[in-house]
Structure 1
Amino acid sequence: MFSPAIQKLIEERSGSFLIPASKIAFVEESNPLYHAFLILTKVKYAKIPVLNQQSQLVGLVSLAMITDKMLDNDDISVEALSKYQVKDVMQTDFPKVNFTDAELETQLHLLVDNNFIPIVDDDDVFQGMITRREWFKAFNYLAHTFDDHYMVIKKNQILRLEANDE
């Protein structure tokens, strides 16, 4: 559980954690692999969201997933880029959170092992993502402004002060 003081300061910044879906590159599950390959190459992200036609989040895809499909008996074949669709290679088991239910502590735990967390609404419609980078920015804010808001006194100092009062 977060310290209430720390949580309050992080929550001051938490609204800026969400990168809206409109600013994020994605592909649709029915897109050919060459389309995902081009998008991933241009945006230079390791992994991007995969949506269905209803804008629901259904997977994640990376260059490594695509190139793995291109490998054919010690050779690389570009035929796979036209032959397969994104849904044939995408990752379907991944963490995602509903933004209204996403506690800060849950987000932080998920970001330990993931560069980003996709955010969905109650109908699994993709809303955006929270990135490790945004959390680092919040921690930087916390580290630089904590003393502007709070004074820290060690608990054993309080006990000694109370003992001296008697």
Structure 2
Amino acid sequence: MNIAYFLLPKSRTAYLYDDYTVRQGLEKMRYHGYAAIPVISRDGKYVGTVSEGDFLWSLLSDEGGRRATRSLKDLEKLRVRDIFCEDNAPPVGITVSMEELLTSAMNQNFVPVVDDLENFIGIITRKDIIRYFAEQQNPSAATQRMRKIV
């Protein structure tokens, strides 16, 4: 099965640029209501995924070995690229198998997809992956569901 069938293209995906301020990133995540969102560079390369937890931890800073809360003004200076941890949502190529895609989706809500040049081209949601495997287990249910839609 070609995973491009499940791809939600970049043009329909919410993402952040790595040079956005933390405040801009928070505003966009709040607007869309996401728990995690892909981060790309201005030239379209996938950089990583930032989560709510990354934003929460960025509100605390270590100043002189002690914790201090950052002000809203501080969040205007801090960039999204500075707050996310090692990427726990590695991207996959467009030629990956469905089984590999399932493995990638086990620990994240979506799987970022890149082309051969590491350009971000979209995401595949865990919901779509689960639906695919559920339909493989019970193809008649999928057929009945499609009849109701049409």
Calculate the TM-score normalised by the size of structure 2.
0.79
For residue 16 of structure 1, give the secondary structure of its aligned residue in structure 2. helix
2:39 match: secondary structure? strand
2:74 partner letter: A
Q: Is the 8 A contact 1:33 1:80 kept in 2?
A: no
- Check 1:41–1:137 CA distance in 2 against 1; reply closer, same or farther (3 A cut): same
Deviation of 1:91 after TM superposition, in Å, equals: 3.5
Checking the alignment, whether the CA contact within 8 Å between 2:45 and 2:119 is kept in structure 1 is yes
Secondary structure of 2:30's counterpart equals helix
Aligned to 1:66, what secondary structure does the other structure show? Answer: helix
1:164 corresponds in structure 2 to: none
Runs of 4+ in 1 over 4 A off after TM superposition: 146-149
1:131–1:145 CA distance, 2 compared to 1 (3 A): same
Distance 1:148 1:77, change over 3 A: closer
Aligned-pair RMSD on alpha carbons? 2.4
The total of aligned residue pairs comes to 137
> Match of 1:134?
128
Higher strand content, 1 or 2: 2
Report the Cα distance in structure 2 between the residues aligned to 1:148 and 1:113, rounded to whole angstroms. 26
The answer to which structure has the higher helix fraction is: 1
Unpaired segments ≥5 residues, structure 2 = 62-66, 144-150
Normalised to the residue count of structure 1, the TM-score between the two structures is 0.72
State the identity %: 28
> Among 20, 24, 30, which residue is 1:31 paired with?
20
Larger-Rg structure? 1
Structure 1 residue runs of 5 or longer lacking an equivalent are 1-10, 150-166
